[in-house]
């Protein structure tokens, strides 16, 4: 398999970036793809305090966000850990500028492994010989590889079925026995069990951390002093919005899940319960170290060139989120 | 030109003169002799066309489909996980209308679809005329249209995002590009298929180029254009599912995509039912238009 490898430009942009401006120059505008935070800022009223113009877009997920970056149509996006790693492998220089995690990541995982009706899988070790849905560029794909690693299995011990996880593709693939195992998240977990539990469908916990959530921006946006200053302010508001959601679960269920996303009250409450509380750490050492492991694992399994995780974190932004919360 | 379809009493003159007497009577086993009329000349001739129209004939097929759905669900022959029952869909319809989601999404989508349709018709028609009536136009235009036809819209989205951004312009452009193709193809084809006899007739009558265009060519292309329009009106609606996957916060396609990510099959089916209805209704409107504009035509359809 021929895979594109990272070119030398990662090393080139590892040089020390200019310090952030203290104020956002007038006339600065950000195009933001972070639909959840937008609603949280609206519901909390924080949106009126943002001192520069924001154009909100409804883009989420790695593939869509990276596509919009390439089209120079977006300045910042919100994703999990994988998209920024792959973007740098695919010649789209981006860096993470904010990080949040779940307070109790093992008790509140984003994903669970759905098991097809009638298939005997109780632990990760039972994955041996099974057909597993695999989406290389998405968080779900990395989770599959990490689960195999945790179970001491090699890629060759299972059959990886390449299938992008869009919409409800994974639960449907499970229900129709196209795959034996697939990571499913959020409300789909509940729907899958409700609909196919009677036929013998199950889910298992993987016991791994799968909770990182990042803001990330293309290098050319970070190199623009005005945009970088605006991003710094945005990170602070993003942290405050995160905290507001923690503090106001009912308003969040009503305003986001029910009004904005069209789910019912029950589903919304389920999702809030599933997420638990989210925290914004002041120090990134741990997340960078975990990122490094993910990069190395993906590089080995998928044939990419490994690189230093430090290169995809812009440490200028490291203290901003936690400081904004502490100041309140 | 065939006159077979006109054996309906409205235009039989030519037929009687040309060949009616040569045709066998239905289920007639008498030996045939040239020039001798069949034994029972009073018996009704067998019609070769599809026969007279059934009232509301076009609505019967869809109605049968709905009945199968109702019966299948009512008798529990259809697993509700595979296809929810019509009454479950009806109640989801009710909920979506009650909280205003369906109407507002429909409104946004309509504006997008109709804008795309309008631009697409105008551009497709102009290109078809330019390419149909001049060799230079054909050389320049026909190839690119065939290329567009072969390129999947989904695959063009990244490129269109680069050129036009991720806003409304890009979305309407995608619909327009889709609509241009059937309008162009069918109009162009009809223009080129105009019978040589009419051209000769126009030449005999010493028609000016302008009159020839206005009185022969353009009316002759109308049936083709209308067929293209039938494809176009449904296409502009179905394109929404594609364009509203990108940076949309409203619209039918967005509603369906969002429901997909939460596994809300019933909402997806409500969207599909709306599409089905819109498709059928738009098609019906164009057919009505066809009836009006093409009332001069004598074909199997009449």
Measured CA distances, A120 to A94, A114, A129, A160, A194 (Å): 41, 12, 11, 18, 19
Q: Are residues A132 and A188 in the same domain?
A: yes
Q: Are residues A94 and A227 in the same domain?
A: yes
* Rounded-to-integer distance, Cα A146 and Cα A138, Å: 13
Percentage of chain A exceeding pLDDT 90: 84
End-to-end CA distance of chain B: 16
Q: What pTM did the predictor assign?
A: 0.79
Nearest alpha carbon to residue A321 among A283, A276, A285, A287: A283
Other Cβ atoms less than 10 A from the Cβ of B287: the count is 15
DSSP secondary structure string, A38-107? HHHHHHHSGGGG--SEEEE----SHHHHHHHHHTT--SEEEE-SHHHHHHHHTT--EEEEEEEEESSTTT
**Domain assignment of residue A240, yes or no:** yes
Q: Which distant-in-sequence residues (6+ apart) come within 8 Å of A155 by Cβ?
A: A145, A148, A301
Give the mean pLDDT of chain A.
91
Contact B246/A263, CB-based, under 8 Å? no
Q: Which distant-in-sequence residues (6+ apart) come within 8 Å of B192 by Cβ?
A: B132
Q: Are residues A217 and A295 in the same domain?
A: yes
CATH (domain of A134): 3.40.190.10
Nearest to B263 among A71, A74, A187 (CB): A187
**Domain assignment of residue A224, yes or no:** yes
**Domain assignment of residue A186, yes or no:** yes
Of A189, A204, A219, the residue that ends a domain is A204
- Contacts of residue A262 in chain B, CB cutoff 8 Å? 101, 255, 258-259, 262, 264, 267
Q: Are residues A190 and A235 in the same domain?
A: no
List, for residues A235-289, the tens digit of each pLDDT value: 999 999 999 999 999 999 999 999 999 999 999 999 999 999 999 999 999 999 9
pLDDT above 80 (res B45): no
Predicted confidence at residue A5, as pLDDT, reads 44
If you measure CA to CA, which chain B residue comes closest to A165?
A: B261
**Domain assignment of residue A2, yes or no:** no
Rg (CA), chain A: 20
Q: Are residues A163 and A217 in the same domain?
A: no
* Rounded-to-integer distance, Cα A120 and Cα A201, Å: 10
Q: Are residues A181 and A280 in the same domain?
A: no
* Rounded-to-integer distance, Cα B171 and Cα B240, Å: 8
pLDDT above 50 (res B101): yes
If you measure CA to CA, which chain B residue comes closest to A70?
A: B162
- Contacts of residue B257 in chain A, CB cutoff 8 Å? 167
Contact B249/A58, CB-based, under 8 Å? yes
Residue A182 parent element (H or E):
strand A181-185
Q: Are residues A78 and A123 in the same domain?
A: no
If you measure CA to CA, which chain A residue comes closest to B167?
A: A57
Q: Which of A88-92, A224-228, B157-161 has the lowest mean pLDDT?
A: B157-161
How far away is chain B from the Cα of A168, in angstroms, using its nearest Cα?
5
* Rounded-to-integer distance, Cα B216 and Cα B168, Å: 40
Record the tokens describing residue A17, joined without a space. Answer: 């970036």
**DSSP-derived secondary structure letter, A313:** B
- Contacts of residue B246 in chain A, CB cutoff 8 Å? 59, 64
Q: Are residues A230 and A314 in the same domain?
A: yes
Q: Are residues A78 and A119 in the same domain?
A: no
**Domain assignment of residue A23, yes or no:** no
Can you give the residue range of the structural domain that contains A289? 10-14+29-103+211-326
Predicted confidence at residue A16, as pLDDT, reads 63
Nearest to A71 among B166, B263, B267 (CB): B166
- Residue ranges of chain B whose CB lies within 8 Å of a chain A CB: 81, 101, 158, 161-162, 165-166, 246-249, 255, 257-264, 267
Express the helix, strand and coil content of chain A in percent, nearest 5 each.
50, 15, 35
Nearest to B161 among A67, A191, A262 (CB): A67
List, for residues A110-128, the tens digit of each pLDDT value: 999 999 999 999 999 999 9
> Looking at the complex, does the CB of residue A186 fall below 8 Å from at least one CB of chain B?
yes
- Contacts of residue A258 in chain B, CB cutoff 8 Å? none
pLDDT band (50, 70, 90) for residue A4:
very low
- Block residue for tokens 């679809």: B113
**Domain assignment of residue A24, yes or no:** no
- Contacts of residue A186 in chain B, CB cutoff 8 Å? 262
A33, A34, A56, A73: best to mutate for the B interface, most B CBs within 10 A: A73
If you measure CA to CA, which chain B residue comes closest to A31?
A: B166
- Contacts of residue B262 in chain A, CB cutoff 8 Å? 168, 186-188, 191, 261-263, 267
Other Cβ atoms less than 10 A from the Cβ of A155: the count is 16
List, for residues B211-236, the tens digit of each pLDDT value: 988 888 888 899 999 999 999 999 99
Residue scoring higher pLDDT (B217 or A9): B217
- Contacts of residue B264 in chain A, CB cutoff 8 Å? 262-263
- Contacts of residue B161 in chain A, CB cutoff 8 Å? 67-68, 71, 73
> Looking at the complex, does the CB of residue A254 fall below 8 Å from at least one CB of chain B?
no
Percentage of chain B exceeding pLDDT 90: 50
Q: Are residues A216 and A320 in the same domain?
A: yes
Nearest alpha carbon to residue A318 among A246, A235, A241, A240: A235
pLDDT above 60 (res B5): no
Of A186, A204, A222, the residue that ends a domain is A204
Distance of CA B121 to the CA centre of its chain: 13
- How many Cβ pairs within 8 Å bridge chains A and B? 62
Of A178, A204, A230, the residue that ends a domain is A204
Q: Are residues A74 and A129 in the same domain?
A: no
Residue scoring higher pLDDT (B58 or B268): B268
**Domain assignment of residue A197, yes or no:** yes
If you measure CA to CA, which chain B residue comes closest to A59?
A: B247
Q: How many domains does chain A have?
A: 2
Q: Are residues A217 and A97 in the same domain?
A: yes
Is residue B231 within 8 A of residue B104, CB to CB? The reply is no
Contact B258/A261, CB-based, under 8 Å? yes
The interface pTM score, or ipTM, of the predicted complex is 0.75
**Domain assignment of residue A158, yes or no:** yes
- Contacts of residue B263 in chain A, CB cutoff 8 Å? 167-168, 171, 187-188, 191-192
Record the tokens describing residue B59, joined without a space. Answer: 């609505």
């Amino acid at each position: 398999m021929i895979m594109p490898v990272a070119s030398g430009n990662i090393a080139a942009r590892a040089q020390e970036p200019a310090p952030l401006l203290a104020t956002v120059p007038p006339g600065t505008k950000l195009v933001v793809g972070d639909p959840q935070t937008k609603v949280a800022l609206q519901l909390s009223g924080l949106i009126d305090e943002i001192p520069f113009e924001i154009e909100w877009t409804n883009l989420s997920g790695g593939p869509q966000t990276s596509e919009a970056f390439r089209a120079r149509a977006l300045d910042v996006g919100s994703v999990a850990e994988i998209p920024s790693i792959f973007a740098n492998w695919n010649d789209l220089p981006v860096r993470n500028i904010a990080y949040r995690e779940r307070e109790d990541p093992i008790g509140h995982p984003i994903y669970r492994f759905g098991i097809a009706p009638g298939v005997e899988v109780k632990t990760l070790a039972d994955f041996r010989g099974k057909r597993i849905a695999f989406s290389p560029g998405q968080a779900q794909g990395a989770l599959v590889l990490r689960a195999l690693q945790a179970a001491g299995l090699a890629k060759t011990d299972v059959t990886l079925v390449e299938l992008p996880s869009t919409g409800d593709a994974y639960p449907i693939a499970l229900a129709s026995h196209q795959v034996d195992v697939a990571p499913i998240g959020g409300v789909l977990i509940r729907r899958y069990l409700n609909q196919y539990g009677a036929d013998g469908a199950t889910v298992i916990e993987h016991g791994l951390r799968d909770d990182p959530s990042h803001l990330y921006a293309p290098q050319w946006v970070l190199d623009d002093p005005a945009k970088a200053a605006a991003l710094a302010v945005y990170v602070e508001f993003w942290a405050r919005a995160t905290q507001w959601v923690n503090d106001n679960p009912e308003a969040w269920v009503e305003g986001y899940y029910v009004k904005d996303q069209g789910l019912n009250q029950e589903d919304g409450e389920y999702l809030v319960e599933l997420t638990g509380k989210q925290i914004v750490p002041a120090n990134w050492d741990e997340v960078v170290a975990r990122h490094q492991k993910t990069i190395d694992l993906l590089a080995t399994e998928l044939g990419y060139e490994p690189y230093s995780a430090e290169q995809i974190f812009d440490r200028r932004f490291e203290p901003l989120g936690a400081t904004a919360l502490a100041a309140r | 030109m065939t006159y077979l379809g006109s054996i309906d009493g409205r235009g039989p003159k030519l037929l009687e003169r040309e060949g009616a007497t040569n045709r066998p009577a239905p289920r007639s086993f008498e030996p045939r002799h040239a020039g001798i009329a069949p034994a029972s000349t009073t018996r009704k001739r067998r019609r070769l066309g599809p026969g007279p129209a059934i009232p509301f004939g076009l609505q019967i097929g869809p109605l049968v489909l709905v009945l199968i759905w109702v019966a299948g669900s009512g008798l529990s022959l259809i697993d509700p996980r595979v296809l929810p029952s019509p009454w479950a869909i009806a109640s989801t319809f009710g909920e979506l209308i009650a909280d205003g989601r369906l109407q507002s999404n429909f409104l946004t989508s309509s504006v997008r679809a109709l804008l795309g349709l309008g631009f697409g018709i105008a551009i497709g028609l102009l290109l078809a005329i330019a390419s149909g009536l001049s060799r230079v136009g054909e050389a320049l235009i026909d190839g690119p249209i065939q290329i567009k036809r072969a390129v999947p819209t989904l695959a063009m989205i990244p490129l269109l995002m680069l050129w036009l951004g991720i806003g409304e312009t890009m979305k309407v452009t995608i619909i327009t590009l889709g609509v241009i193709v059937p309008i162009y193809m069918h109009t162009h084809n009809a223009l080129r298929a105009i019978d040589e006899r009419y051209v000769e007739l126009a030449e005999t009558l010493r028609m000016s180029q302008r009159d020839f265009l206005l009185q022969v060519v353009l009316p002759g292309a109308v049936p083709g254009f209308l067929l293209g329009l039938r494809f176009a009106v449904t296409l502009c609606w179905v394109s929404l599912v594609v364009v509203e996957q990108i940076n949309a916060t409203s619209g039918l396609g967005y509603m369906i995509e969002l429901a997909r990510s939460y596994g809300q099959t019933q909402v997806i089916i409500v969207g599909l039912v709306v599409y089905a209805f819109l498709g059928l209704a738009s098609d019906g409107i164009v057919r009505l238009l066809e009836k009006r504009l093409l009332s001069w035509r004598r074909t199997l359809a009449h």
